[in-house]
Amino acid sequence: MTEQKAKSLTYAGAGVDIEAGNRAVGLMKQAVRSTLRPEVLTEIGGFGGLFALNTDKYKEPVLVSGTDGVGTKLRVAQLTGVHHTIGIDAVAMCVNDILVQGAEPLFFLDYLAVGKLQPERVAEIVEGVAEGCRQAGCALIGGETAEMPGFYGEEEYDIAGFAVGVVDRSRLINGKDIAPGDVVIGLGSSGLHSNGYSLARKALLEVSGYSVTDFLPELGRTVGDELLMPTRIYVKSVQSLLEKYSIKGMAHITGGGLTENLPRILPPEVQVVLDPSTWPVLPVFKLIQKIGRVAPEEMLRTFNMGIGMVLIVPAAEAAAIMQDLASCQEQAYRIGRVESGAPQVRYESVKV
């Protein structure tokens, strides 16, 4: 006890390295600066981020906010040692959510908690966040990196994101005008995005016995590469439509799949009827279903099944919208229609 009293405790000795934190901030500065917009009034490192709203562009601005994480996809990043894309997912999950209300993403903040702060790894993760922000056209205006020894293992970390966007009140998209006869357009996903990973990992890494380094011909890549495919960010493609067309409703297809997400935007007394044969189901979903013997209904309410974003539009504008999406290199499919009925998704066939 006497010997213990004689020792001088330090924060670093307790597992938190302030110098490593400072070095991490230095390594990430260039990536953060690459996302800045003219409205940003602060530099990295301050106590708060300042953003001057463009009141010439927005006459009756409504701020739209969203927050999310990337779930157990993080475990795949830790298994593979690949950390430069997971930040894209963190941004995508937030900006796609606020996009569905017609909002332009303005700025983003991240929260990164680590067991042991490794500056190069932190910089790699934040570069992914910056890339997501560049894709979305929003500024990475701030963030927090917390070293939490004893709470996370040395190789473990978690990340969450927070996005703020803006839309004029008169241009809010809330689904209230969706009516029978409207057309449902689906935008293709890049794969699993950031949902259903507990089931996907169970099938692909436990039941099958595959490792993240196994190359699978049916996927055309390794299991790890497939599971780390970044979530698509639809902001720029969809925003290009908002000034030209009457988009009545949008849904970001995340956890719960098409089955659970579309009813969230439907007004009373209308339902969506989808035909799963109208879009290609990506190989990764077929593989998970086969290995796990997952029922088609369970697949449709767990995964995006190849559709990451849904637009509900007037039938008269559907063809032009599809053409514009094709010009933006978006894979777009006419996947269903709106009919009268209780708010729900009904499938013409559930054979996946």
**pTM, 2 dp:** 0.92
Q: Is residue 334 part of a domain?
A: yes
* DSSP 8-state symbol, 203: I
Is residue 190 located within the same domain as residue 154?
A: no
Tokens (6 digits) for 328: 């933006």
Distance, CA of 251 to CA of 311 (rounded, Å): 7
- What is the average pLDDT across 79-97? 97
Q: In the chain, how many domains are there? A: 2
pLDDT of 177 above 80:
yes
Q: Give the pLDDT score at 121.
A: 94
The pLDDT-based confidence of 276 (bands split at 50, 70, 90) is: very high
Choose the final residue of a domain: 138, 171, 204: 171
Choose the final residue of a domain: 136, 171, 206: 171
Is residue 14 located within the same domain as residue 149?
A: yes
Choose the final residue of a domain: 110, 139, 171: 171
- Give the position of tokens 């994101």: 161
Q: Is-contact 15 150, C-beta < 8 A?
A: yes
| 17-67 tens-digit pLDDT | 778 777 777 777 787 788 888 888 877 767 788 999 998 899 999 999 999
Is residue 285 located within the same domain as residue 329?
A: yes
- What is the SS3 assignment for 140? strand
Is residue 219 located within the same domain as residue 326?
A: yes
Of 197, 312, 304, 296, whose CA–CA distance to 249 is shortest? 312
Q: Give the pLDDT score at 9.
A: 79
pLDDT of 146 above 80:
yes
* H or E element that contains 165: strand 157-168
| 150-174 tens-digit pLDDT | 999 999 999 999 999 999 999 999 9
pLDDT of 206 above 70:
yes
Is residue 312 located within the same domain as residue 235?
A: yes
Please provide the average confidence, as pLDDT, over all residues in the chain. Answer: 92
Is the Cα dihedral 111, 114, 117, 121 positive or negative?
Answer: negative
The pLDDT-based confidence of 10 (bands split at 50, 70, 90) is: confident
